């Protein structure tokens, strides 16, 4: 069992909530009436492929590191859910033009090497049909969490006292790049600029998630109420942990 699954998906209610909301917030922007074909980029072990197929979509997942698909395939077979996945680089997607009605990236964008992001977004644009939609979630660069991380990487003594997590990249060279170790979120305006540079029209940017992974199960209910309240509060909501960007390919 991979550590990611054991630590998050089989962990406390707070940890499961933190993972599940990211998929739910992305997938809720997809409409079956607009088409069933979905490409999930950066699928890891394939959770969103299974989730989308369970919702009635025909999802295909790709990841530059395909090893986790072995576990995903076993889970999908046990639950009798279709599981169509392939190892592929987002810079060169192995699909024809306009093949998909939707494209999703759940906590993937920040792991793509910075110099490769324009090409990756151009590839997403190419495989999406005119009128189709791309939805991505990524750590909110302006969040309290990411602000704290940027301070921590400048002070080793502080980082040593904080929990283990993905810290901002400090200039990894391409030869040393690995997506699981690479973490470079961007401000909303830069994500929007990249998408628009690829040809997309950005429809909406939102922020969500204030849950802490250390939240005790006994506090889970009240905390979710607070979370929803903070997300709807002007100014406060912009500090949430995750950004969700919705864009479309002009018809």
For 48-106, the pLDDT digits (tens) are 999 999 999 999 999 999 999 999 999 999 999 999 999 999 999 999 999 999 999 99
Is the predicted pLDDT of residue 192 greater than 90, yes or no? yes
Separation of alpha carbons 194 and 117, rounded Å: 8
Residue 100 pairs in a beta bridge with 128
Is the predicted pLDDT of residue 1 greater than 70, yes or no? no
Q: What is the CATH number of the domain that holds 70?
A: 3.40.50.150
pLDDT of res. 209: 98
- CA separation (Å) from 184 to 58, 108, 110, 235? 30, 10, 5, 24
Which residues have C-beta within 8 Å of that of residue 219, sequence separation ≥ 6? none
Q: Number of folded domains in the chain?
A: 1
Q: Which domain holds residue 10?
A: 3-248
For 106, counting Cβ atoms within 10 Å of its Cβ (0-12 exposed, 13-18 middle, 19+ buried), the class is buried
pTM for this predicted structure? 0.94
DSSP code per residue over 184-197: ----HHHHHHHHHH
Separation of alpha carbons 94 and 89, rounded Å: 9
- CA separation (Å) from 6 to 2, 10, 12, 189, 220? 6, 5, 10, 35, 19
For 1, counting Cβ atoms within 10 Å of its Cβ (0-12 exposed, 13-18 middle, 19+ buried), the class is exposed
* pLDDT tier at 156, thresholds 50, 70, 90: confident
Q: How high does pLDDT run on average in the chain? A: 94
- CA separation (Å) from 213 to 27, 35, 44, 81? 22, 35, 21, 29
Average pLDDT of the residues in 155-176:
81
Q: Which residue has the higher pLDDT, 8 or 122?
A: 122
């Amino acid at each position: 069992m991979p550590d990611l699954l054991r630590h998050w998906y089989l962990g406390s209610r707070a940890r499961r909530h933190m993972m599940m909301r990211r998929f739910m917030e992305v997938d809720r922007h997809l409409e079956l009436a607009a088409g069933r074909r979905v490409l999930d980029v950066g699928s890891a072990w394939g959770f969103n492929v299974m989730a989308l197929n369970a919702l009635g979509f025909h999802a295909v997942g790709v990841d530059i590191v395909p090893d986790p698909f072995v576990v995903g395939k076993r889970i999908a077979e046990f639950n009798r859910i279709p599981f169509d996945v392939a190892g592929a680089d987002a810079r060169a997607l192995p699909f024809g033009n306009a093949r998909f009605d939707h494209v999703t990236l759940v906590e993937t964008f920040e792991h793509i090497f910075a110099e490769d992001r324009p090409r990756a977004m151009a590839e997403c644009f190419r495989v999406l049909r005119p009128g189709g939609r791309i939805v991505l979630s990524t750590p909110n660069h302006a969040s309290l969490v990411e602000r704290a991380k940027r301070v921590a990487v400048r002070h080793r003594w502080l980082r040593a006292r904080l929990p283990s997590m993905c810290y901002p990249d400090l200039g990894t060279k391409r030869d040393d790049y690995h997506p699981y170790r690479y973490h470079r979120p961007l401000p909303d305006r830069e994500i929007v600029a990249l998408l628009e540079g690829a040809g997309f029209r950005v429809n909406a940017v939102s922020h969500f998630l204030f849950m802490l992974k250390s939240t005790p199960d006994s506090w889970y209910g009240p905390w979710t109420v607070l979370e929803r309240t903070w997300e709807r509060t002007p100014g406060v909501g912009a500090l949430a942990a995750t950004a969700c960007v919705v864009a479309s390919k002009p018809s």
